Structure formats: structure tokens, C-alpha cells
Amino acid sequence: MPFTSHLKNPCTLIMSRIMEFYEVVKTRRSVRTFRPDEPDPEAMARVLEAVRLSPSGSNRQPWKFVLVSDSEKKAEVVATCGRQAWIDEAPIVVVACGRKTGSNRGGYMGDMSFLLDISIAFTQFILAARAEGLGTCWIGDFENETIKGALGIPEDYDVVAVSPLGYPEAEKAFHETDRRKPLSEIVSQEKF
């Protein structure tokens, strides 16, 4: 009770926090130009905590996120990413890895079921980074085996996604977009 007594209207605080989350979702963008300065360590800690808290099937947490800031190691990773040299501008390159869990989601995903868990964690990473003013760009064009060799990733893990991470160079990097399908095309009720 003492905490709420300091608030003029507790519902306003709750609503502002909800609106902040939706603002993050609405304004998240793929960032492709970065300032050279390192991310704030406290902001990084919060972003990584969001990854740690991500849900996963049977709480297996089959992920490992490798943060690459060494310029030579970054260059090795970037070289495997489909000639997207701009990735190297970011002070950090994040490599999300996952290991097979033996589950078979939906009865058809087999060994690749772990991709769901890593995708959830990577999405939380991207949204948390946006909330901290950090830019990301989900990179799916990479050479798995080459990155594994460069970073010493064990054989039972695979790279699922790569992202540059840093403060956007563009002042208005985060903004809403109208380049999304309307709800009527992506949601239905009771049947497909």
C-alpha cells in the first residue's frame, strides 16, 4: 500500500508502461547504419536479461548468444553473411546459436524444433534492444559451418540468426511503417 500511495493514479502508470511496449513494437526497424560507440553496459545487461528470460519449450533454453566485438572476429562473421559488409559498422555482432532438443513440435518439425525457441529469444533480444535505443537487423543469410568454425561453436549447435547491434547512425531510424498487411489478411476466427 505505501508504494501505491505515492502514485496519483496507478492505472495511468500501468497504461503508460503498456503504451511504451507497443511503441517499441510499432517503431522497431531493421537498422543498417551504426555509430561506432559501444552500447551502454547497463542497457546491454537489460537486453541480455530479456534473452535469458525468454520462454522455451519445456524450459530447455537451448540457446547461446555469442557477442562478437573483436574486429578480426567480426570480419570473419561478416564475411559469411552474403556480402553485407555494412554489418561490420556495428560495434557488436550477435550470433544466436541453438542446439537440437530431441522434441518434434507439431509432429513434423523433427530436429529443427529448436528453431522456434531460438526465434523467440532472438525476438525478445531485438525488442529489448529497440527499447534501449539500440539498432538490430535480423540476418538470415549466413554460412553456418564457417561461423561455427570461426567462433568455436560446438558441433551440436547451429547458428540460427545473426544481427549487428549498436546505436543507429540515422537520427530517425525508429519509426512506424505502413508496409504491413492488414489484420484481415493475417488473422481469422474459428477457421482458416
- Domain with 130 in it: what CATH number? 3.40.109.10
Residues 119, 46, 4, CA angle at the centre, nearest 5°? Answer: 115
Residue 125 or residue 104, greater confidence: 125
Q: How many C-beta atoms surround the C-beta of residue 54 within 10 A? A: 18
Assess if residue 165 is contained within a domain: yes
pLDDT band at 163 (very low <50, low <70, confident <90, very high): very high
Assess if residue 119 is contained within a domain: yes
The mean per-residue pLDDT over the stretch 56-82 comes to 96
Look at the block and give the residue holding cell 557488436: 92
171's CB contacts (< 8 A; 6+ apart) are none
Q: Based on the structure, what is the number of domains in the chain?
A: 1
pLDDT surpassing 80 at residue 4: no
Q: What is the pLDDT of residue 3?
A: 44
The mean per-residue pLDDT over the stretch 103-125 comes to 91
Phi, psi (degrees; rounded to nearest 5) at 171: -65, -35
Assess if residue 188 is contained within a domain: no
Assess if residue 73 is contained within a domain: yes
Q: Which three cell numbers stand for residue 176?
A: 512506424
Assess if residue 95 is contained within a domain: yes
Domain around 87: 30-169
pLDDT surpassing 70 at residue 178: yes
pLDDT tens-digit map of 23-33: 999 999 999 99
Alpha helices in 60-143 (DSSP H): 71-78, 114-131
Assess if residue 189 is contained within a domain: no
Assess if residue 57 is contained within a domain: yes
The mean per-residue pLDDT over the stretch 26-55 comes to 96
Assess if residue 10 is contained within a domain: no
pTM here? Answer: 0.87
Residue 81 or residue 11, greater confidence: 81
